[in-house]
Structure 1
Amino acid sequence: MTKASAVTNVTSGEGDSHSVTTQLDTGVHAPSRARIGARTLRKDRWWLPPALTAAGLAVFVIYATVRSFMRVDYWVGEHHYLTPFYSPCLSESCVAGSSHFGIWFGELPGFIPLAFLSLPFLLGFRLTCYYYRKAYYRAFWLSPPACAVSEPHQKYTGETRLPLIIQNAHRYFFYAALVVTLVNTYDAILAFGGENGFGIGLGNVVLLGNVVLLWCYTLSCHSCRHVTGGRLKHFSRNPVRYWIWTKVSTLNTRHMAFAWITLGTLVLTDLYVWLVASGTITDLRFIN
């Protein structure tokens, strides 16, 4: 944080004036800000939302990390259920039948997740997401933790240096997320044809519901809104793109909700496949 010199004119009772030079901080301690010693004057439980956000994100990260390295109970061969945490599975380490796109790699060591080709891009997409930035900036970095609450940091460089400059790659992670969502969609479609032919079970409903919500989250992304209509100067000359842009904009207003819902559906989908694959529960079948 830099210091700024301020010159204040002080007028005495006799009409004489003199200049007094003082050193004043900038940012939240700038001379234009109220000189309040307390971190905040808020009396409500302002700390609760960031605390809940931190807890929710931590639970998902821990669960997803553990499951990604377990390498068991991620494929139900009878009904062709594949958890999204292991898709696409492209190595010889994958269970027979779970490699929907063939075998591209040999055996993988235990410290490499089987879905190593997709997980880094999905992680990058979520980490650089505009909503998630706000969420973990407040919850983990306290920058700031809440409105009208002073942050503890002494300086702010923005997203101009490492590691935060990587946030500017969000649009490229968006393109990768589109591909991965297409892969998940393919997995959900294949799950309707199990070992006994076409069939529908509760697992199909779970997989399909998860994919639909993943599309809602992906397409509601701010980068998607920019891609569809951000560079247009005349909407009237591009009616089709304008129509797409309006639909994406409608989804965009619910981007935060989809961000959280899809964390839940990803865990629910993986948990259901895990329980069925391990024999803990039996898939509820509606057809075949």
Structure 2
Amino acid sequence: MATGTAAPGRAQIEERHLRTDRWWLSPAVTVTILVAFIVYSTWRAFANDDYFAEPYVSPFYSPCLAENCDSMPLSANAPLFGDWWSLSPALIILIFPLGFRLTCYYYRKAYYRGFWASPSACAVPEPRSKYSGETKFPLIMQNFHRYFFYFAVIVALILSWDVLIAFRDEHGAWGHMGLGTLVLLANVLLIWAYTLSCHSCRHIIGGRLKHFSKHPVRYKYWQFVSRLNTKHMQLAWASLFSVALADLYVYLVASGAFDDPRFF
């Protein structure tokens, strides 16, 4: 039996949809940007080079969980994988922020529409005759989003430490600030804003409370996160661009493309 727009009892029209605007533009832009990011991040993750320029470390490679890293005495390294890991150390850590973004409620909407046409836009039916939602493998794995959130917080804390040490010079003395410091600072602020604006974060803070009046502190936090949540889409894109730009900046400095301008 047909389902969806072809189900019995629904009005039948010859056209697939009645939208006359450029509804395809948004999913096309989404696909273009995400493909560009996937290509860039894949190249950088497997490059295993030019990700550290004292005192800056690329967010793709922090923290280093293997011993086959550049010498990064100022960064938050934790070589838990020892010397047996021969591939790029970025492949270990990127699974956590990648998992957080892949299971993010907004990103699901973005890439479902862009890559799978599920559906491409409002009032544009998807080409499939059946819909199972996220009840089967692999999409049922989207339920792990709340757990990836905890890992995302840990990653954000580590990136915050990287920003702190970016105020040192190459000798470890405090008082340094260059353009790279500002780049990493802007990135970590956007990462925190995106992470805290997450729907799971909002639920963890106040989702199970029955009486806000009995929990004034959590209520204040819930209000703050709720305001961020209204900008979750914008923060998702802004933080995606910022983390790529932060990595690109460190790469350019580490590869010798230009010297990091210092303010003091």
The alignment's TM-score, normalised by the length of structure 1, stands at: 0.87
When structure 1 is superposed on structure 2, of 30-39 and 160-169 the one drifting more is 30-39
Query: Residues 271 and 215 (structure 1 numbering): CA distance in 2 closer, same or farther, change over 3 Å?
Result: same
Percent identical pairs in the alignment equals 56
Contact 1:88 1:117 in 2 (8 A): no
TM-superposition CA deviations, 1:136-179 (whole Å, max 9, x none): 11000101001111210111111110010001111001011001
Cα pair 2:68 2:89 within 8 Å, conserved: yes
Residues 39 and 150, structure 1, Cα contact 8 Å, conserved in 2:
yes
In structure 2, C-alpha distance between the alignment counterparts of 1:228 and 1:102, rounded to whole Å: 30
SS in 1 for 2:122: coil
Structure 1, residues 92-132: CA drift from partner, whole Å, max 9, x if none? 2101126533433115223xx31333211111100100000
- Give the letter aligned to residue 234 of structure 2: A
Question: Quick check: 94-103 or 56-65, which moved more?
Answer: 94-103
Residues 1-288 of structure 1: matches in 2 within 5 Å?
Answer: 3=1, 25-77=2-54, 80-97=55-72, 100-104=76-80, 105-110=82-87, 113-196=88-171, 197-198=173-174, 199-287=176-264
CA distance in 2, matches of 1:118, 1:239: 36
- 2:197–2:232 CA contact under 8 A, matched in 1: yes
Distance 2:97 2:138 in 1: 18
Separation of aligned partners in 1, 2:10 and 2:43: 47
How many aligned positions are there? 260
Tell me, in whole angstroms, the C-alpha distance in 1 between the residues paired with 2:152 and 2:29.
Answer: 26
Cα RMSD for the two superposed structures: 1.3
What stretches of structure 1 of length at least 5 have no aligned partner?
A: 4-24
Cα distance in structure 2, aligned partners of 1:200 and 1:107:
36
Deviating above 3 A after TM superposition, structure 1's stretches of 4 or more consecutive aligned residues are none
Residues 216-247 of structure 1 deviation map (CA, whole Å, 9 limit, x = unaligned): 00000000000000000001111110110000
The answer to whether the Cα contact below 8 Å between 1:200 and 1:285 also exists between their aligned partners in 2 is yes
Which amino acid in structure 2 is aligned with residue 30 of structure 1? A
**Secondary structure, aligned partner of 1:36:** coil
TM-score (norm 2): 0.95
Paired amino acid for 2:16: R
Moved more, 97-106 or 38-47: 97-106
CA distance in 2, matches of 1:102, 1:126: 24
Using the alignment, how far apart are the partners of 2:4 and 2:127 within structure 1?
12
Rg larger in structure: 1
What is the rounded CA distance, in whole Å, between the counterparts of 1:61 and 1:103 in structure 2?
26
Cα offset for 1:91? 1.7
**Distance in 1, Cα, partners of 2:226 & 2:163:** 27
Pick the structure with more strand per residue: 1
Q: Which runs of 5+ in 2 are unaligned?
A: none
- Deviation of the 1:43 alpha carbon: 1.4
Distance in 2 of aligned mates of 1:117 and 1:232: 37
Q: How far off its partner does 1:279 sit?
A: 0.9
Given that residues 46 and 91 in structure 2 are in contact (C-alpha distance below 8 angstroms), is that contact kept between their aligned partners in structure 1?
no
Distance in 2 between the 1:173 and 1:84 partners? 17
Q: Which structure: greater helix fraction?
A: 2
Deviation of the 1:34 alpha carbon = 2.1
Q: Report the Cα distance in structure 2 between the residues aligned to 1:124 and 1:135, rounded to whole angstroms.
A: 15
**SS of equivalent residue, structure 2 residue 11:** coil
Local SS of the residue matching 1:122: helix
